[in-house]
Amino acid sequence: MKTKFSSSWNRSIQPRKQRKYRYNAPLHIKKKLVSSHLSKELIKKYNKRSITLITGDKVEILRGNFKGKTGTVEKVDRKDLKAYITGIETAKKDGSKTKYPIDPSNLIITELKLEDKKRLTEVKNG
């Protein structure tokens, strides 16, 4: 299999190829892959279902060990397609704590950070 990214790739049933597409995608495409659904109130307000995550958004976790917890997005890692949320940490064997990466598909945005002009246009125009 080729290791280069194919911009003409359409779809595949095979999870192996889906993972390969996500892994080899350039950053401008990975930006779209780091997006989460909006809450029901925000969907009605902005007439959008999902939007890309940025630092400062308030989110609720829907899946995993931290299900039901809320927090603000502390860091968005586009390379690994993960989000880090304040207060969500795991304990290591030596007793220290480390940030826990969460997939953006397992989050729901409850409050948007709208201080950025580009973000405002993204929310309004799409």
Say what the pLDDT of residue 126 is: 63
Query: Is the pLDDT confidence value at 4 over 80?
Result: no
Architecture of the domain made up of 35-125: Roll (2.30)
Helix (H) or strand (E) holding 91: strand 89-91
- For the segment 12-18, the average pLDDT, to the nearest whole number, is 90
Chain segment 26-66, per-residue pLDDT in tens: 998 999 899 999 999 999 999 999 999 999 999 999 999 99
Chain segment 58-105, per-residue pLDDT in tens: 999 999 999 999 999 999 999 999 999 999 999 999 999 999 999 999
Phi, psi of 66 (to 5 degrees): -105, 25
Say what the pLDDT of residue 59 is: 97
Say what the pLDDT of residue 5 is: 77
Query: Is the pLDDT confidence value at 9 over 90?
Result: no
Q: pTM of the predicted model, to two decimals?
A: 0.87
Within a 10 A sphere around the Cβ of 41, how many other Cβ atoms?
10
Q: Where in the chain is the domain with CATH 2.30.30.30?
A: 35-125
Say what the pLDDT of residue 64 is: 93
Q: Is 122 helix (H, G, I), strand (E, B) or coil?
A: helix
Q: Which residues pair with 102 in a beta bridge?
A: 83
Query: Is the pLDDT confidence value at 8 over 90?
Result: no
Say what the pLDDT of residue 113 is: 92
